[in-house]
Amino acid sequence: MAATQEIQFRDAAARIAAAEEAQAPQPAPPAAEELQDIPSEKMVLNMGPSHPSTHGVLRIVLELDGEIITQAVPDVGYLHRGDEKIAENMTYTQFIPYTDRLDYLAPLHNNVAYALAVEKLLGIDQQLPPRCQYIRVICCELARLSAHLLGLGAFAMDVGALTVFLFTFTEREKIYNLIEALTGARFTTSYTRIGGLCRDLPPGWVDQCGKFLNEVIVNFGESEKLLTRNRIFVDRTKDIGVIPRDVAIDYGLTGPNLRGSGVEYDLRKAHPYLCYADLQFDIPVGSVGDCYDRYLVRLEEMRQSVRILHQCLDRLPAGPDNRSGEPINVPNGKIVLPPKEKVLTNMEELIHQFILVTQGVNAPPGEIYFSVENPKGELGFYIHSKGGGTPHRLKIRAPSFVNLSILPWLLPHHMISDVVAILGSLDFVMGECDR
Phi-psi region of 230 (alpha: psi -120 to 50; beta: other; left: phi over 0): beta
Euclidean distance between CA atoms 147 and 152, whole angstroms: 9
Averaging pLDDT over each range in 13-22, 46-55, 319-328, which range is the top one? 319-328
What pLDDT sits at residue 333? 82
Predicted TM-score of the model (pTM): 0.87
pLDDT at 220 over 80: yes
Helix, strand, coil percentages (3-state) for the chain, rounded to 5, are: 50, 10, 40
- In 323-429, alpha helices (H): 340-343, 347-358, 399-403, 407-410, 416-426
By the 8 A CB rule, do 168 and 149 touch?
Answer: yes
Half-sphere exposure of 195 (CA within 13 A, CB side): 20
**Residue-averaged pLDDT of the chain:** 87
Q: Which residue has the higher pLDDT, 336 or 146?
A: 146
Q: Which amino acid is at 255?
A: G
Residue 81 has a pLDDT of 84
Check whether 12 has a pLDDT greater than 60.
no
The tens digit of pLDDT for each residue in 94-134 reads 999 999 888 889 999 999 999 999 999 999 988 999 999 99
pLDDT over 70 (residue 18)? no
pLDDT in tens, 22-41: 555 666 555 555 556 666 68
Report, as an integer, the average pLDDT of 277-301.
92
Is pLDDT above 80 for 202? yes
Radius of gyration of the chain (CA): 27
- Average pLDDT of span 267-277: 92
Name the region of 377 (left: φ>0; alpha: ψ -120 to 50; beta: rest): left
The predicted pLDDT at position 375 comes to: 94
pLDDT score recorded for residue 20 = 59
Confidence of residue 323 (pLDDT cuts 50, 70, 90): confident
pLDDT tier for residue 14 given thresholds of 50, 70 and 90: low
Q: Cis (ω within 30 of 0) for the bond into 49? A: yes
Q: Which of 301, 310, 263 is nearest to 282 (CA)?
A: 301
pLDDT tens digits for range 151-190: 999 999 988 888 999 999 999 999 999 999 999 888 888 8
